Amino acid sequence: MEKNTYKQIVKKYTPKENRLFNGFVAFVSGGLMGVIGQALVTFYERMLDVPNKEALSYMMITLIFIGCLLTCLGFFDKWVHFCKAGLFVPITGFAHAMQSAALDYKKEGLVTGIGANMFKLTGSVIIFGVVSAYVFGLLRFILFGGNV
């Protein structure tokens, strides 16, 4: 078969993704995550009477816990498949990637499975974050003297 005809056939049968719909779903689900985060912060500030910074930390931990638990229970994969960027850009996506890597490699044992592969998907986020933060931090330290 000619290469071009093959490509045309592939193109014909690849399911078309509705980009407008995807964007809308990502916007709404991502926005709802932000609202949930803000609601948790307000809740912790009122109920535990802690300052804003601590409430933000508690909110992060809560969202990470929810993301990990829902991944274990099997709901989160379907939701991520539907919402895409709306769920993996917030911190829940970080938790989800970590938890699914840990679960996938569980059968290979504690050290060589979970221990070695837990950061398989999230390692890139931490590495690029640290390298860029160091370079940009150095830049700002030289330019403005590091006053935050």
Min dist. Cβ of residue 1 to other proteins (A): 25
Among 7, 8, 57, 112, binds other proteins (CB under 8 A): 57
Q: Which one, 5 or 144, has the nearer CB to other proteins? A: 144
27 binds other proteins (CB under 8 A): yes
DSSP state of 14: S
134 binds other proteins (CB under 8 A): yes
22 binds other proteins (CB under 8 A): yes
76 binds other proteins (CB under 8 A): no
In the shown chain, the binding pattern of residues 85 to 124 toward other proteins, with x for contact by CB under 8 A and - for none, equals xx-xxxx-xxx-xxx--xxx-x-------x---x--xx-x
Among 9, 28, 48, 116, binds other proteins (CB under 8 A): 28
CA dist., res. 86 & res. 95, Å (int): 14
SS3 at position 104:
helix
Burial annotation 90-116 (CB, 10 A radius, 16+ → b, else e): bbbbbbbbbbbbbeebeeeeeeebbee
Q: How far is CA 41 from CA 44, 65, 78, 93, 121, in A?
A: 5, 15, 27, 19, 28
